[in-house]
Structure formats: structure tokens, C-alpha cells
Structure 1
Amino acid sequence: MFTGIIAATGTIQHLQNNGSDVRLRVNVGKLDMSDVALGDSIATNGVCLTVVEFDQHHFSADVSSETIARSGFAHYTNGQGVNLEKAMLATSRFGGHIVSGHVDGVGEVKSIEDKGKAVEIWVTAPTDLARYIAEKGSVTVDGVSLTINEVNGAMFRLTLVPHTLQETIIGGYKPGSRVNLEVDVIARYLERLMLVDRAADTTKQTDISLAFLAENGYLNKG
């Protein structure tokens, strides 16, 4: 598990296509590797990757076809900057929100505007993820835990302070940049729990709707 608080930025040095998956090698920048062991997890642009080789300045990991299909890794090349976070310890401060490192989809940066020292960014999420995006809720963007300040359909607005812009790859975003998104895991489990006995029935519609909420007492039918 991760918190979405980025420890360092790194750079992809090598991508090796092995047919159905990819082996990548990452220069970790200032990330402290002194306590890393084989098999540890490092979130790389929000994707939980398992360390298969490492030294003081690098680590290698395999990226599965599932991860490639669901994340921006399909478009990454050598020199790609990445946000890095080691898996949290039980004794760590929980500074962000619950981040699993399982990317749900790829969003697109639509606009960037300076607001004083901060920057406002509008991002479009895939349509099937829009229902998990809530104003003042949390979202993970390339591994960074961020607060959603406004929602407009499948689009949402983020406000980035200078520290976040300096310490992550977000400072290099441009309109059209593709970003890994992980929605709040609590929202996903809440949706599943609200389906109750319908969750295992493949013959019924399983999407949460206003009618379903009203039927189960979550909305006033009147």
C-alpha cells in the first residue's frame, strides 16, 4: 500500500519488450534505496511494481500486459520522467490517502492555468471512472495523492502548490499529457457493497443508478 506522497522523481532508462510484457530499468534519482530488497514494491507513476533487480541508483521491474493496457506505460519511452514512492511501513505517517498502486485508467490533461503561485489543472477521466470522481474527494494522478476541487462531467479540477510542482513530474505537464489515474478505493468497495446480493448475479444490471439508490433508501423517492 502507498500514500500518494512522492519521495523522488526518476527516469526510465531502458524498456525491453519481452513479447507479452516489458522489463524496465529506472534511475531512481534521490530515492533512498538503502532499505530496498528484492520483491519490494515501488510505485512508479502510480503503478505498483515489484523490484527484480536493483543497486544504489536503479531498479528493474516487469510490467505485465494488463498494466500496459490500463496505464500510460503503453506510451512511455526511454527518458520518461516518473514519480516514485516506496511501499509504506506500518510506522509511516499517512500523509495522503489509501493508494493501492493499481491504476484504473488513463486520463488526459485538458488545460493548465496559473493561479498566483499555484497552478490549476483540468483533467478528463475515462467515462467509466467518472462516477468515482467527487468534489473534495481524493484521486491519484501519476501516483500523487490530490484533492479534487471541482467536477464537470468526466472532467475534474486540481490545484497544485509549488512544492508539488517542484517535487513531482506534474510540473512538466502540458495540455494533452496522458496521466495514470487511480480512483479512491473506498468508493469502489462502497459501490460493490451497495449492490448486496446483486453483485454475484451476472443477469442483472450492476451499475449504481439513481433509481437503485432510491429503491434502497439512499435517496428520498419523493
Structure 2
Amino acid sequence: MTQIFTGLVEEMGEVISVARGEKSLKIKIKCKKVLEGAKIGDSIATNGTCLTAVELGDNYFTADCMFETVKRTNLKRLKSGSKVNLEKSLTLATPLGGHLVTGDVDCEGKIISIKQEGIAKIYEISVEPRLMKYVVEKGRITLDGASLTIVDFTKESISVSLIPHTQEMITLGYKRIGDYINVETDLIGKYVERLLHFDNSKEEKKKKGIDEKFLFENGFF
């Protein structure tokens, strides 16, 4: 079953260990809040990546990462001591304070500038050009699992603004120029694009089945 998140980070966990296999990872993460009521098999967004808890302890969980996850996300860059954003999946009792986040990371972005602007810091992050069609000013974007507002964008980058409190609560506030961050673009934008460009012609041809035209075109007349 598909899991949904809100992009509201519950806590920052700390990586205890990373075991690297052949095109896979096993990550053990120290945490507290996301373990409340958690069961083996539950989904926990880790830097915005939907992972399944395969082992639970009093102050940690362990998750396996397959090759697609390793290839597409910054989890491959983690090491012991790394900080990660954590969020449990959405339930019917969870307030939707951010936006709908799937935990399926689109790509890694790279921080290309950090500027102080009053009390806030403006982070500019490069994003693969193919994903920029889902970006709108004042729209939402998920960075390492945190739902943030886009304040500006170019053909190849987006900018977000963090107040001091947010800088302390999520990984982006501790990153530097050149660091990588997981990017998930807006889910609704993807569905709108799919609907606008979907080609029904092939499906309609399938529904027609065998008729006089079909028999003629295939040499039966």
C-alpha cells in the first residue's frame, strides 16, 4: 500500500551505522519520536525517502535500501553521525499541515548558494531541468523530506527561505554549499501533466476489437 507523508519533519535522527552491500544499504538510525507506536513494517520517511523499518529497538530502527533508492537519493552519502530528517507516514488522525508527499525522491539537488537575508537564509539548490516543469513560485517542494515554499526559481534551480527555527529543526539548516539534498517535486503537478498528455487512441483501438475494417485490412475480404 502506498504511504503518504506531510513533509513536516518530526525529528532529526542520527545515523548509527551504514552497512554497504552489493547495490544496497542497511541503515541503522538513532531516534525517539518516530518510534512511538511504531511496528516492524511501518514506513518512516528518512531524508524524504520512504523506508520500511525492518528492525526496531528502544532508540533506533533499521531499514534496507534497494538499488533504485541508493542510486536516486543522498542516502548513499550517509555515514555514522550523519543527521537525517524523519517522519512517520500519515494516518487519518494526522493533521495535514504541509502537503502531500510520497517519499519517492525524484533526484538529488546540490546547494549552489546560501545567502543571509534579514533573519532568514536563502538556499539556492540545483534541480534536474526535466523536473522544473513542476515548479511554480510560492508552490511547495520537498527537500530531504521537509515541505518548503519556493520563493524563486530559474531554469535549473529553486530557492527556499528558512527562518532560524526551521534552520535548527531540519537538515538543510546544517548543510553547506556543495552538499546534496533529496528533492521531491509536487505530486499534483505530475498527475496534471499525465492527464493532459495521456493518449487515449491506443486504448480506443483495443476496445474496437474485430470489425469489418479490421477484416479488410488483414486480407479477409
TM range (shorter): 0.7 to 0.9
- In the alignment, what sits opposite 1:212? none
Cα pair 2:23 2:70 within 8 Å, conserved: no
* 2:109 equivalent in structure 1: 107
Q: Does 1:177 align with 2:160?
A: no
Rounded Cα–Cα distance in structure 2 between residues aligned with 1:39 and 1:102: 17
2:163 partner letter:
V
Question: What's the counterpart of residue 7 of structure 1?
Answer: 10
CA distance, structure 2, for counterparts of residue 18 and residue 89 of structure 1: 33
Task: Measure, in 2, the Cα distance between the counterparts of 1:84 and 1:194.
Answer: 34
- For 1:198 and 1:154, how far apart are their aligned partners in 2? 32
> After TM superposition, what 4+ stretches of structure 1 lie above 2 angstroms from structure 2?
198-201
Please report how far the alpha carbon of residue 120 of structure 1 lies from its aligned counterpart in structure 2 after TM superposition.
Answer: 0.8
- Partner amino acid, structure 2, of 1:13: I
Residue identity matched to 2:77: H
Judged with a 3 Å threshold, the aligned counterparts in structure 2 of structure 1 residues 157 and 78 are, in CA distance, closer, same or farther, namely: same
**CA distance, structure 1, for counterparts of residue 139 and residue 121 of structure 2:** 19
Q: Is the 2:28–2:63 Cα contact (8 Å) retained in structure 1?
A: yes
Aligned-residue offset at 1:118: 1.1
Structure 1: distance between partners of 2:78 and 2:71: 12
Q: Contact 1:192 / 1:199 at 8 angstroms: preserved in 2?
A: no
Larger radius of gyration: 2
Q: Which consecutive residues of structure 2, in runs of 5 or more, have no partner in the other structure?
A: 204-221
Residue-by-residue CA offset, 1:152-208 (whole Å, 9 max, x unaligned): 11111111112211111122111111000000011111111101216979xxxxxxx
- Alignment size in residue pairs: 200
Q: SS at 1:98's partner residue?
A: coil
Q: Distance in 2 between matches of 1:176 and 1:199?
A: 46
Structure 2 Cα separation of the partners of residues 171 and 84 of structure 1: 15
Give the corresponding residue for 1:186: 188
Bigger mean CA offset, 92-101 vs 122-131: 122-131
TM-score with structure 2 length normalisation?
0.86
Structure 1 unmatched ranges of 5 or more: 202-222
Shift of 1:12: 1.1
Equivalent-residue separation in structure 1 for 2:105 and 2:9 (angstroms): 16
Cα drift, residue 20 of structure 1: 2.7
Q: How does 1:25-174 map to 2 (within 5 A)?
A: 25-28=28-31, 30-174=32-176
Matched AA of 1:5:
L
* Aligned partners of 2:143 and 2:184 also within 8 Å: yes
Once the two structures are TM-superposed, the CA of residue 74 in structure 1 deviates from its matched residue by: 2.3
CA RMSD of aligned residues (A): 1.5
> Match of 1:143, as an amino acid?
G
Paired residues of 2:34 and 2:88 also in contact (CA < 8 A): no
* Paired residue type of 1:86: K
The 8 Å contact of residues 34 and 56 in structure 1, kept in 2 or not, is answered as no
Judge conservation of contact 2:109–2:128 (CA < 8 Å) in 1.
Answer: yes
Give the deviation of 1:18 after TM superposition: 2.4
CA distance in 1, matches of 2:30, 2:61: 7
TM-aligned CA distance change 1:200 to 1:148, over 3 Å: farther
SS at match of 1:194: helix
Distance 1:198 1:174 in 2: 47
